[in-house]
Amino acid sequence: MELIIVATLFVIVITLIYIYLKRAYSPSPGDLPGVKPHIFFGNLINSGIWTGESAFHQVLLDYQHHFGDKFQYWLGSHRCLVFCRIEHAQTIFADRYTFDNSPLNNSNFDLFCPNSLLLLTGAKWKRHMRILLPMLKLAKIIGHLETIVQCADRFIDQNLHSGQIHRDLLSCCESLTMNVIGFVAFGCDFDIHANSQIKKAVHDFESYVRWLSPLPWIFRWLGKIYLKYNWKYQRASRLFHGLAQKLVEEEQNKQSEMENEPPKNLIAALVSSLNEEANDEQVSSGLTSAEIFDEILTMILFGYEGMPPALLWFIFFASKNPQVQQKMKEELREHHLLMTNNLKCVPPLTANNLSSLTYCECVIKEVLRLAPVIEYTIRIATCDTIVDDVKIHRGQNVFIPLHNINTDARYWHHADPQQFVPERFLAEDKNHHPLAMIPFGGGHRACVGEKLAWLQLKTIIVRMMQRGLN
């Protein structure tokens, strides 16, 4: 008898759960258009994201083509409202109190770096920004220009040779950008190469981040167990902790020898802010050691996966458009910056001559327009509101597909916005809308390392052209 009762209750519970999930995923009369989602997986399967058949930015472009500028996309178990016009982005970015950072921006990243700036909101976010932002402003990082040039030269000498067939440029670009981060942010030569321990650890760490990030939150407890007993991940984590501890201790020794010295790089600012009693009630109370570690790890991961794709896209576009390479070299020749056989007879790259390279700047803008560092951004509504006659309830996620806006013909007029045409920034698209191209995100949650990324990308690309590489 008891067995029958238990079995009956089990069936009832399963039925109720099924009915609840069915209702939760069923469209309502006021919903935006979209593709019917699967339970738990949303549109990840039927859009081809989960199977790898489609890139996410292409899916959002296809949805916009079918459903218009406003539609819904289910990211796993989360229904997201997608807005594709500049006016939408302007409204959402401008209202920082109604739209804040969504957990979906870096889903499950708190399993790895719970104290990272990428995840924080409110007073804690402000406390971290107070430490990080001053060191990542252009006025600070421009002093590292010579170091970036040296890293670029090492990258070129080791990897780019005339007539060479490049089969693993992504790995080489990852090593380059991580080395730049090592020097600029931490004053340390990571000496990253393909088989280095740090490179392997970062690769392993980043692969787990990518694997766990798109999973619906119902699997979070599985993720915690998986990471806890995964020896490969634990080995990478131990190496990172050791590296972070070493960086902190070395900086503490420097600061003990030179008292009252203003911070010159990110690690100096982080160590100067060390305060195990730090709290959100006092914005200027500093960071704890756990918070410092997570910020160090985030910066290294950014160096690993942030800029290498953009650098690879430049190499791709330049190889497909030799006339663009020629124009870049002609501009360098006009400014007496094009090298031939003797590197020493050319003036060094400076902030002034970099800023004078107008066409090179246009090429970099066009690369980032078609291959933005951040393809989309997500905000969460902190209260009920309305955007373009769409009711948004508190707790709902709002998507802004930046790639859609970057390639929208309504905002780009010189040439087909799907084509690589750097000259557009010298013609009628020169004064494009500020939000028509925001490759690093927008609003108060834009990428904090934008200035460093931009300087790094421009310097490396100019250096490659300066040395006459094809």
Dist. CA 42–CA 263, nearest whole Å: 47
Measured in residues, the chain has a length of 470
For 71, the 3-state DSSP assignment is strand
Binding residues for heme, by number, are 447
Domain that holds residue 330: 122-377+402-466
Q: What is the total count of domains within the chain?
A: 1
In this predicted structure, what is the pLDDT of residue 174?
A: 83
- pLDDT at residue 1, rounded to an integer: 67
Residue type, 3: L
Higher-confidence residue of 304 and 69: namely: 69
Per the domain annotation, does 406 fall within a domain?
yes
pLDDT, tens digit, 9 for 90 and up, residues 205-259: 888 887 777 665 556 778 888 888 888 889 888 888 888 888 898 888 888 877 7
Under the banding of pLDDT at 50, 70 and 90, the label for residue 357 is: very high
> In the structure, what pLDDT confidence band is assigned to residue 307 with cuts at 50, 70 and 90?
confident
Q: Is residue 108 part of a domain?
A: no
pLDDT bin (cut points 50, 70, 90) of residue 278 is confident
Q: Assign residue 450 a region (left: φ > 0; alpha: ψ between -120 and 50; beta: otherwise).
A: alpha
State the angle between helix axes of 169-186 and 308-320 in degrees (0 to 180), rounded to the nearest 10: 130
Tell whether 37 is covered by a domain: no
pLDDT at residue 56, as a whole number: 87
What pLDDT, on a 0 to 100 scale, did the predictor assign at position 218?
A: 54
Instruction: Give the pLDDT band of residue 461 (cuts 50, 70, 90).
Output: very high
Per-residue confidence (pLDDT) for residue 161, from 0 to 100: 65
Residue 345 lies in a domain: yes
395 lies in some domain? no
Q: Is pLDDT of 333 > 70?
A: yes
Q: In what order do the strands lie in the sheet with 70-75?
A: 70-75, 78-83, 397-401, 376-381, 99-101
In a domain, 100, yes or no: no
pLDDT digits (tens, 9 = 90+) for 150-202: 888 888 887 766 666 666 777 888 888 888 888 888 888 877 655 677 778 88
When pLDDT is averaged across residues 110-115 and rounded to a whole number, the result is 87
Q: How many Å apart are CA 149 and CA 136, to the nearest integer? A: 18
Select from 468, 406, 320, 430 the least CA-distant residue to 85.
406
Binding-site members are 447
The residue with greater pLDDT, 10 or 334, is 334
Q: How many other C-beta atoms lie within 10 A of the C-beta of residue 378?
A: 21
Q: Which residues of 24-34 are buried (b: 16+ CB within 10 A; e: fewer)?
A: ebeeeeeebeb
Among 25-39, 85-99, 380-394, which stretch is predicted with the lowest mean pLDDT? 25-39
What is the per-residue burial (b if ≥16 Cβ within 10 Å, else e) of 259-286? eeeebebbbbbbbbbbbeebeeeeeeeb
User: What pLDDT, on the 0 to 100 scale, is given for residue 380?
Assistant: 93
Residue 318 lies in a domain: yes
At residue 386, the pLDDT reads 92
Mean of all residue pLDDT scores within the chain: 85
Q: Is 321 exposed, middle or buried (0-12, 13-18, 19+ CB in 10 A)?
A: middle
59 domain-assigned:
no
Cβ count near 105 (within 10 Å): 19
- What CATH code is carried by the domain that includes residue 269? 1.10.630.10
Asked whether the predicted pLDDT for residue 350 surpasses 70, the reply is yes
| Predicted local confidence at residue 398, as pLDDT | 95
pLDDT for 5-45, tens place per residue? 777 777 776 666 655 555 556 666 678 899 988 877 888 88
pLDDT band at 343 (very low <50, low <70, confident <90, very high): low
Report the alpha-carbon distance of residue 172 to residue 155 in Å, rounded. 8
Residue 376 pLDDT exceeds 80? yes
